[in-house]
Amino acid sequence: MSSAAEFRRPVPPLGEAILNALPNPVLLVAPDGKIVDANIAAESFFEISTQFLKRQSLKELVPFGSPLLALIEQVRAAGSPVNEYKVDLGTPRNGGDRQVDLHVAPLTEKPGHIVVMLQERTIADKMDRQLTHRSAARSVIALAAMLAHEIKNPLSGIRGAAQLLEQQASSEDRMLTRLICDEADRIVTLVDRMEVFGDDRPVARGPVNIHSVLDHVKRLAQSGFARNVKFVEDYDPSLPPVLANQDQLIQVFLNLVKNAAEAVADLGTDAEIQLTTAFRPGVRLSVPGKKTRVSLPLEFCVKDNGSGVPEDLLPNLFDPFVTTKATGSGLGLALVAKIIGDHGGIIECESQPRKTTFRVLMPMYNATKPQPDQSNRDDVPGTPAPASQHTR
């Protein structure tokens, strides 16, 4: 669509060129509600050309009774700009649910004309949720340190006392002392898993071929927990290396594939897991404590055709102790979010019945630029995976 717009305007005026360079849709609305002009991003958002947009009024493009129409009248009456957040502009024409932030302002040079700018919530929500995941990971680190100090020591005493009692106990009482020992061991195992979050050692990173990582994970899965699952691969062979620690990436995608395999376990021969990679330029993330924005052009997805994640769990899916499994600890996805956050990336889950997608966005390796100093990072420190478990 952008090529068509360029063909119509071979040499656009400077103001129009700047407007078309903006990534957010911008509309100019006349006093009668007709659209006077629109930039290229608006063409993409509404999936129609500027020429066609100018033939319609705004109320024909947005849902019936949309708050946008009332905002325009409010701005026109007050003569001052107004912002509104998380407004749904989805219609059957543009694909349903399309939440946007609205920025509506009067155009002083043309009385009665209103400028409307839309900002889709997708990337903004990802950034907000990613910062929440990092905050949750920091909370788990503090909790892990407390548990290690305050729980493991008394547990060892409890287990030792139970072993002493077991030597003089009857057969019936010996079952109870064995139960005490087993439960103490189970709690220690849980604490050991949580201590992984508190590992603050620097992790070596470098160029990693994500396709080698995914192939390795697929072989591990097919030889074990996903033996009867069909794997579908859709890779971009020209993808540049990702800046990462290979062992940690194997740990991340092994966890995601294992979750996907468990989600499709009841589908029999219809069970399917799809692994995809793609290059998505234009995604940049602002990280607190850093002056520059991080580019995240590499997209890696793990998709399954299982029953999906319950809607009420989606916002907190990467928080510790949140799980859909009856016997799960809820630490697997929290660790995944922590590792991806340590790498400066984003992980998100989109789920509906028969289509669940875990999407990872990460920075690419650039040999011409200095890479981040692993010993002095602002975010949560990484956690190296055991080499014996994940290396080939």
Please calculate the CA angle 364-44-304 and round it to the nearest 5 degrees. 55
- The tens-digit pLDDT sequence of the chain (392 residues) is 444 444 444 445 666 777 777 778 888 999 988 898 888 888 888 878 888 888 888 888 888 778 888 888 888 888 888 888 778 777 656 555 677 888 898 988 888 899 998 887 655 565 555 555 555 555 555 666 656 656 777 787 888 888 888 888 887 888 888 888 887 887 777 666 655 555 555 667 899 999 999 999 999 898 888 998 999 999 999 999 999 988 889 989 999 999 999 999 999 889 999 999 998 876 666 554 555 666 788 999 999 999 888 887 877 787 766 666 555 556 678 888 888 888 888 888 888 888 899 999 988 887 765 555 443 333 333 333 333 333 32
Which strands make up the sheet holding 114-120, listed edge to edge?
35-38, 26-29, 114-120, 99-106, 82-88
Q: What are the C-alpha distances in Å from 113 to residues 35, 64, 348, 391?
A: 10, 21, 39, 63
DSSP calls for 218-280? HHHHHTTTTTT-EEEEE--TTPPPEEE-HHHHHHHHHHHHHHHHHHTGGGGGG-EEEEEEEE-
Tokens of 148: 């290690």
Contacts by residues 320-324 (CB-CB < 8 Å, ≥ 24 positions apart): 320/136, 320/139, 320/140, 320/143
In angstroms, the first-to-last Cα distance of the chain is: 46
**Alpha-carbon torsion (311, 317, 319, 324), positive or negative:** positive
Alpha-carbon span 81 to 72, nearest angstrom: 9
CB 264 within 8 A of CB 229: yes
Alpha-carbon span 119 to 107, nearest angstrom: 19
- Helices and strands (H and E) in the chain: how many: 12, 14
Running DSSP on this structure, what letter comes out for residue 59? Answer: G
The helix-helix angle for 171-195 and 152-168 (nearest 10°) equals 160
3-state secondary structure 325-349: CCCCCCCHHHHHHHHHHHCCCEEEE
